[in-house]
Amino acid sequence: MPSEALLTGIAIERMIDIRRQLHRYPELSNEEYETTRRIRGWLEEARVRVKDYPLATGLIAEVGGIQEGPVIALRADIDALPIQEKSGLPFASLNPGKMHACGHDFHTAALIGVAFALKKQESRLKGTVRLIFQPAEEKAKGAKLVIDSGALEGVQAIFGMHNKPDLPVGTIGIKEGPLMAAADGFLVKVEGKGSHAAVPEAGNDPIVTAAHLVTALQSVVSRNVSSLSSAVISVTKLHSGESWNVIPDQALLEGTIRTFDDGVRLQVLKRFGQVVDGVAAAFGTTASIRWIEGPPPVNNDAALAKLGLAAAADTGYQAITPNPSPAGEDFAVYQREIPGLFLFIGTAGTQEWHHPAFDLDERALPVSISYFTRLAELALDYYSTGGGASL
């Protein structure tokens, strides 16, 4: 592995300290006030320009712009989860019931490190790097807030990453095309007719409909999605009834649908609706669906993926082709506006994302900083030559 300190000229101990401070004081989506204040403090200390976009939480900053040129953006998410930390770490959360269990503290510290590194060579940058510290990723709301604030205007391409516990430190997971899933949610309300449990023929039992729905909905994945594509439907909540001897008049189902392709997503949502209507009707009940529209799939631009590979080669890290993740990620919302590349940084964790004992190997922090510093330079070079043909 190359010497990151030499590559970026910044003190890694300081970056680890920043990550641990963030980890100690996690804040939930849209409540990241202290986190934003801390980020601002660190950036201002390094004389990085903090911009004035209308965001309640989160923050936009810029480096470069001394040389005229394109604007590219780097994005980190800053929010935490409503989880009681059980990592046993000396710098574990001091905010009860809140935890950086998705590693967004790592993402934030890494982007601050990139800001410091780019600041040191600001006059050499062939354009501007806009740094987006995005709130509310876990609620899939923050990217839209950033876009609505105007912070994406003038930006030609955007780059972001997620830590990846199952990849070793020193590896970068880069893949063009789909990388993470569209994550839609559903609430199905089945309405029947209640009756005495001993006289079911006097009613229309919504529990029978709900039970059939749980299994029938799986046929959408097995019978309507090509074996070469993929989709997940999970019913995660099923509630009906209050008593052993009463057939209730209502049943509620909730869950999520994950897909990696717009066409498959539309097809699954359409068939889901048909199955719900048909099964409900078959048992003399009715059903309504309320959709919770999640982010679309993360879909990486092919030219930017090549840029990502070039940055890995330049910094001496191992680029690998990762398996797509069925988790959702609202970075995808930016990619609907401008070309983007989202990638994985190997962090050799012992637990998956959102686990109460989630942790990561901090040696991945300098990897991420040196990698993204180089990637930003390459992206500015690329766009300052008009999307150059050198790739």
Binding site for Zn ion (CB under 5 A): 102
Task: Between 188 and 365, name the residue whose CB sits nearer to Zn ion.
Answer: 365
Do 186 and 362 form a contact (C-beta atoms < 8 A)? no
Rounded least distance, CB 182 to Zn ion, Å: 15
Rounded least distance, CB 71 to Zn ion, Å: 25
Task: Between 72 and 102, name the residue whose CB sits nearer to Zn ion.
Answer: 102
What token pair was written down for 186? Answer: 């559903």
Do 233 and 255 form a contact (C-beta atoms < 8 A)? yes
Task: Between 102 and 131, name the residue whose CB sits nearer to Zn ion.
Answer: 102
β-pair type (340-346, 171-173): antiparallel
- φ, ψ for residue 104, nearest 5 deg: -70, -20
What token pair was written down for 148? Answer: 């609505």
Task: Between 102 and 136, name the residue whose CB sits nearer to Zn ion.
Answer: 102
Task: Report the alpha-carbon distance of residue 134 to residue 114 in Å, rounded.
Answer: 16
Task: Between 102 and 179, name the residue whose CB sits nearer to Zn ion.
Answer: 102
Residue located via tokens 């893949």: 175
* Closest residue to Zn ion in the complex (CB): 102
Residue located via tokens 């719900």: 276
Rounded least distance, CB 180 to Zn ion, Å: 10
Nearest to 132 by CA among 154, 155, 117, 151: 151
Do 361 and 107 form a contact (C-beta atoms < 8 A)? no
Task: Report the alpha-carbon distance of residue 219 to residue 272 in Å, rounded.
Answer: 9
Rounded least distance, CB 176 to Zn ion, Å: 21
Task: Between 102 and 213, name the residue whose CB sits nearer to Zn ion.
Answer: 102
Rounded least distance, CB 338 to Zn ion, Å: 21
Q: Which residues contact 109 (CB under 8 A, 6 or more apart)?
A: 15, 16, 18, 19, 22, 365
Rounded least distance, CB 101 to Zn ion, Å: 7
DSSP 310-374: HHHHHHTPEEE-PPPBSS--THHHHHTTS-EEEEEEE---SS-TT-TT----TTHHHHHHHHHHH
Rounded least distance, CB 174 to Zn ion, Å: 18
Task: Between 134 and 267, name the residue whose CB sits nearer to Zn ion.
Answer: 134
Task: Between 102 and 181, name the residue whose CB sits nearer to Zn ion.
Answer: 102
Rounded least distance, CB 75 to Zn ion, Å: 12
Helix (H, G, I), strand (E, B) or coil at 133: strand
Helix (H, G, I), strand (E, B) or coil at 258: strand
